[in-house]
A = this chain, B = another copy of it.
Amino acid sequence: MATDSYEVRPIGWVESPLVDPASAPLQGDEGAPDAWVVLEPAVLAGLQGLEPGHDVIVLTWLDRASRNVLAVHPRGDLSRPERGVFSTRSPDRPNPIGLHRVTIRSIEGRRILVSHLEAVDQTPVLDLKPVLEAISER
């Protein structure tokens, strides 16, 4: 049984021209702007090996989401029937962790410029992971 809880501690945060969640694109490939991921100084050593051009998955904590929502109208469209949140990418869900596939454009110290990130300014960042390459290249 998994009845414990666990504490996530942000490794950084987003700096983005997106400030209003209501006007943010729903997905990164729907017009999200480039944005900065700024790492906490304490985790900077974790960045070694990442370079411009690499594709990474940014995990965020969607801190403005509602955690007690279990069903939503997909994409907020009231004409579509409600579905369980686990069958959607709704930010409202029990653990509001966002996944964002981006490309690193540049790295300046602990600031990482990434492409098309659909997260609003000051969103906490939990993790960065490389997109997996073919098995032979791991």
Contact = CB atoms under 8 A, between A and B. Distances in A.
Interface residues of A, number: 60
Secondary structure class of chain A's binding surface, majority of residues: mixed
A8 B5 contact: yes
A94 B46 contact: yes
Q: How many copies does the complex hold?
A: 2
A71 B47 CA distance: 9
B138 A84 contact: no
Given A11-B86, A27-B138, 8 more contacts: A2-B40, A9-B95, A43-B94, A49-B86, A57-B99, A86-B130, A93-B127, A99-B99
Interface of A: 1-13, 26-27, 29-30, 40, 43, 45-50, 54, 56-57, 59, 61, 63, 70-71, 74-75, 82-89, 93-95, 97, 99, 122-130, 132, 135, 138
